[in-house]
Chain A
Amino acid sequence: MNSVSDLGSIVSRSLHDTLALSLPLFRPELCLAVTVVLLLLCRMLPVLKMLDSAWVALGGAAFALFYAWSDLRGLPGWLGGDALASRQEIFTGLLVFDSLTAYIRLLLMAFLVLYIPFTKVSGIPDREDGADFYTLVLGATLGMCLMASANHLLMVFMAVEMASVPSYALAGLLKGRRASSEAAIKYAVYGAGASGIMLYGMSLLAGLLGSCHLPTMARQLAGLAGAIPAGNLGGVEMVLVLGGLMLAVGLAFKLSAVPFHFWCPDVFEGAAAEVGGFLSVASKTAAVALLLRIAFGLGMPVAVLPGADSSSALAGQAAALQGALLGDARHFMVATIGLMAALTCTLGNLAAYGQNNMKRLLAYSTIAHAGYLLMGVAAAVALSGSHPASARTAVSAVAFYLATYLFMNLGAFAIVAFLRNALRSEEIASYAGLIRTSPGIVVATGVVLVSLIGLPPLAGFWSKFLIFSALVEAISLSAERPLMLVLLVVGGLNTVFSLYYYLRVLKVMTFDPLPADRPGEALSLVSFPGAIVTALAVPVVMLGIFWSGLYACAQLAGAFAS
């Protein structure tokens, strides 16, 4: 143990680390935290009660967005530099800041800035609940930011819980409705169970590898794999596999991947559409980022480590050697993720058939999209061992997908919410003949849904195209050829499947006769709700045409995979 005299140096070192290194890279999260405190103060102080909490939240989110953007702009890879060099461990290795962190954070903040006006206009939460609601939303988003930058199992657990617990409360936001209570109970109990399993998996992995720090764990894992001759792993291997699977359970829960998707349709149906939009977009974005973090953290040791040898060439060599030793681990991850991807995608699309409730349909659509995202992750991990450049392309495909998904899905949920306000119903059948009274909203719905199908010339087409081209690359380059082939076929088939149920909604809106008791124009585009829908639908179109700028950003995010 260190003597007391060292305490001063320890304190000063950690102060330096926190204040000079970590906090400047933590500004968006700090903004969120400050805003959460402000919102709580608003609730307490009578003077501040006059202030509408939505604007406070929006202000905080806007600041956070600004910082997130400037963080991304500040990356060395922004103008063709080496993006890898931007990797920096902060808070003594608990978190990591790199291009993926910056990109996902930017997405989440952009999401908030779009989401808060949307909820403000849609009227859920009402003014009374506003402070609670935005506190929960911002708190959960803060947790999601941590998910995207976690570098340590402690942070993985904390971040997942920080994102989950407010989500449970959000699901039960509509206190007066029985369905909302049911959604919250199911979500909370299921979530608690899932987090228990994930934690047990973590304890197994961390215990066997003797560390919670992901890069250290990867090195230990490589050492373990190198020390024991192949085919003779037995018990240790089984325990590691079990640990990995249990960790995957927690992630699958957050991603609503099969077979842990059951909560998703029920919660989405029971909770308000606004909450559905939050869970489906932000939560998913963060979960995919966390999956990438863990898969690459454990599967590909990074070359640059704090405290490693100063000669980076030597470190790189060592990393490459360890990377080669981790082939089995990657194979395991690819198999698990790929299997889940195929199941998730198929199940989500098939179950969406015959749904009558729009929110439930979107819940299954969310599950299906999680499947496509998992396919991209599987391709990325499969390629990471042998072809790092292609793996980076695959990661950027996933990153691009996440960005377009933000607009498409938030747009879909916004339309559901506004139509609920206008029609007092979320049943698909109640949208009949909408084109005669409010053609603008039908066009917007068409744009969003067709993009979710993935047809050109909308944004969704490019995201699917990029994911599938990553799969094709994985088929031709990686060792996981059969699985990748299966994934490509499944993905293609599913795209065809999904045509039917999305287009059915449009069919109801356009061809079905208008019910006699429909009151006038349901929703005009020239109104606040219409403006929100337009603001979400227009990027879907624009990103279908001018997609290269976003793709450049996504490529930057992809560069995190060494």
Chain B
Amino acid sequence: MIYSLTVSFRLYDLRVPGHPFVGFNNYLRLFADPRFHNALKVTILLVLGELALQFPIGFGLALLLTHGFRGKKLIQPVLLMPMMVTPVVVGYMGRLLFETRSGPINYFLSLLGLPSASWHTAANTALLTVMLLDTWQWTPFVMGVLLAGLVSLPLEPYESAKVDGASGLQTFWYLTLPLLKPVIALVIIMRVLAVLQAFDTIYVLTMGGPGTATETLGIYTYLIGFRYWDIGQASSAAWVLSLMVSIGVTIFLKMMEREQR
């Protein structure tokens, strides 16, 4: 009961943002706001960057874990741990690790003879820092899902490929990839959905800064709504975000439905 009430409440409430009825005014203001354009750009960059990092690393590790080695039973759960850690804590760990003056990461860089970077405190590296942190947390997820997919692949095609004398690379390209396609699509869409809504880690690490370098749609909406108290415009920003998310969700659900049949 409460559940359906709240659901209807939110639809009702969001269709009429603000007290006086202003029509599409909120949306028009939103689309004219250069900060909103920046937020869109940052969000899309973050999605692409995270996929580019997490997918290859996660896939590589998943392939590696299909091989047996001693201690695997013990190591595998440890590798999966990061994705459970509170995102706020991850953001805080980022502040600790990437600390400019005495953080361990800059120290390691100096040991390797590399110049130290300002990471999250400089506009040009802040987004990269966010990506690296998220990669720490979410690559295990990509790895885990792909590994589960790899383990459940049928064995017969591989046997016949071996008989036909296919090389390892050929087997991977013509057999593993096509067979794994549904799982790959699934993991990519789940990551895209999550990154579109990125908020917690960034809030703690940079609060969207420096300037607006890491201001994603989620952070932008929060700041507009709960810092500047422009609830109307925040709602319209939130709806733009949810439109983007719902496209992804629809694809995801279609895939789940097909999987179930």
State yes or no: do A and B come from one complex.
Answer: no
A residues near B (Cβ < 8 Å) are none
B residues near A (Cβ < 8 Å) are none
